[in-house]
Amino acid sequence: MPTGRSTVSTPLLESLTRDLVVKSKYCHFQRISQRCKTCLVTRIFTSIGGVSAKCDNSDTQSLTASVTDYPMEYGRRYHKYHEGSYLYPNDEQELDRMDMQHHMLKLVNRGRLLFASPQSPKRILDVGTGSGIWPIELGKRKEKLFPPHPPQLILTGQFLIVSPSHVASEFPAAEIIGTDLSPVQPNEVPENVHFLVDDVTEDEWLWGPNHFDVIHAGHLSGSLPSYKDLLRKVFKHLKPGGSVQCDEFDPKPKCDDGTMPEEDPDKFSEYALQDLMDLHHRAGQASDPPRQFRVAHRLARWMREVGFEDVQERVQKVPVNPWSTDSHLRTIGSWNETNLLEAAAGWSYKPLTILGWSKPEIEVFLVDVRKSIQNRDVHAYLDYYVVTGRKPHPA
């Protein structure tokens, strides 16, 4: 199977090709290839300009390899640090998809990145930062963003876009940190943005209690043994009055008008996207350690149980493809169709292998999954949750 990106084409995307002429810095960053070895020892990656020519500690060579010697499986690249903790790829194809999904969700959220924050936060943490686009956009920036149209994906793995609007800085005075298992974030970042290699499932974080004003966690479904344990750690490391925000999809497709075939627990569905999400849930339970796949609808309850107050849950419908008659939802559906088509293979290989599937079996199944994603006759959508809470002040 080829490792490059395949072209995803729809009539809407083809009609946009002539307009999509500007390449976004946010879509095809130069990813990190080398970092200071001493910084690797402390699990700290500095932003651009932070690598010193004097850092030449040969004793840390093995640690560098332990982080960046990425294994290749199924034609995709996976993380090395705490290998096996994360089931999905970390290669350019997946990073570009993450960036695309980020911009799609900005359309869903009408441009908002944060829904709850103390005034003038000084320290912000993004847990599981992935491509790093969320903290980068939250920091000082002068870049321009996507138009409300889906991108054209081409074989080189780049997005062609047009960007007519200027977006002001969000929190240029805040120190913004993103953590991830992989050092795949870009070099060119705002000076107040920093990236660290860290595993948030560890008992001890790099910071003491009551350190951050805002902690954000996004798209960690299927990645954690216990999302509630993560929320306990978030509560510990937030300052009193600090805010948490969790952004997650409920991966179970829904439909309000009866156009989606019903699931049968004893056999495969006529709508394969349902089966894919159900298999993900089963793979999460069968993995070692078990991982929670459907978490979005539980986040508000878990936040309250660990002590957060002023918990708010926002749920929005994200169409699987552009079936909606509403122009805004139809545009979002066009983005999501491309997003899901790009994600399907990377989301499937390791989880389905856990369940005993072979690569040829997975490839045959993915043919039906892609057909279901593109089926305009099925009016399916995914619920997208943004859940916020506040750490109370001591009595």
List pLDDT tens digits, range 99-157: 999 999 999 999 999 998 888 899 999 999 999 999 999 886 443 434 444 443 332 23
155 strand-pairing partners: none
CATH of the domain at 62: 3.40.50.150
In a domain, 126, yes or no: yes
Q: 344 by DSSP, 3-state: which? A: helix
Task: Give the model's pLDDT for residue 146.
Answer: 41
In a domain, 358, yes or no: no
Q: 6 by DSSP, 3-state: which? A: coil
Q: 364 by DSSP, 3-state: which? A: helix
In a domain, 84, yes or no: yes
In a domain, 352, yes or no: no
Angstrom distance (rounded) from CA 379 to CA 131: 31
Determine contact, residues 39/55, Cβ cutoff 8 Å: yes
Instruction: Give the structural domain span for 61.
Output: 11-247+294-319+384-390
For the segment 364-384, the average pLDDT, to the nearest whole number, is: 98
Angstrom distance (rounded) from CA 281 to CA 294: 7
The pTM (predicted TM-score) of the whole model is: 0.80
Task: Give the model's pLDDT for residue 276.
Answer: 96
Angstrom distance (rounded) from CA 207 to CA 198: 12
Which tens digit of pLDDT belongs to each residue from 275-323? 999 999 999 999 888 899 999 999 999 999 999 999 999 999 999 999 9
Which tens digit of pLDDT belongs to each residue from 319-342? 999 999 999 999 999 999 999 999
Determine contact, residues 68/80, Cβ cutoff 8 Å: yes
In a domain, 54, yes or no: yes
For the segment 364-373, the average pLDDT, to the nearest whole number, is: 98
Burial 13-38 (b: 16+ CB within 10 A, else e): beebeeebeeebebbbbebbeebbbb
Which tens digit of pLDDT belongs to each residue from 170-207? 788 899 999 999 888 988 888 899 999 889 888 889 89
Helical segments of the chain, H only = 11-16, 37-41, 61-68, 92-108, 133-138, 227-237, 272-286, 299-306, 327-354, 359-373
Q: Which of 315, 279, 280, 278 is nearest to 296 (CA)?
A: 315
Determine contact, residues 369/276, Cβ cutoff 8 Å: yes
Angstrom distance (rounded) from CA 160 to CA 147: 11
Task: Give the model's pLDDT for residue 359.
Answer: 94
Task: Give the model's pLDDT for residue 140.
Answer: 61
In a domain, 265, yes or no: no
In a domain, 213, yes or no: yes
Q: What is the DSSP letter of 240?
A: E
Q: 11 by DSSP, 3-state: which? A: helix
For the segment 35-53, the average pLDDT, to the nearest whole number, is: 31
Task: Give the model's pLDDT for residue 187.
Answer: 81
Which residue is it, tokens 């796949």? 293
For the segment 344-352, the average pLDDT, to the nearest whole number, is: 95
Task: Give the model's pLDDT for residue 169.
Answer: 53
In a domain, 355, yes or no: no
Angstrom distance (rounded) from CA 238 to CA 215: 7
Task: Kindly report the length of the chain.
Answer: 395
Lowest mean pLDDT among 9-13, 51-55, 122-126, 202-206: 51-55
- If one counts the domains in the chain, the total is 1
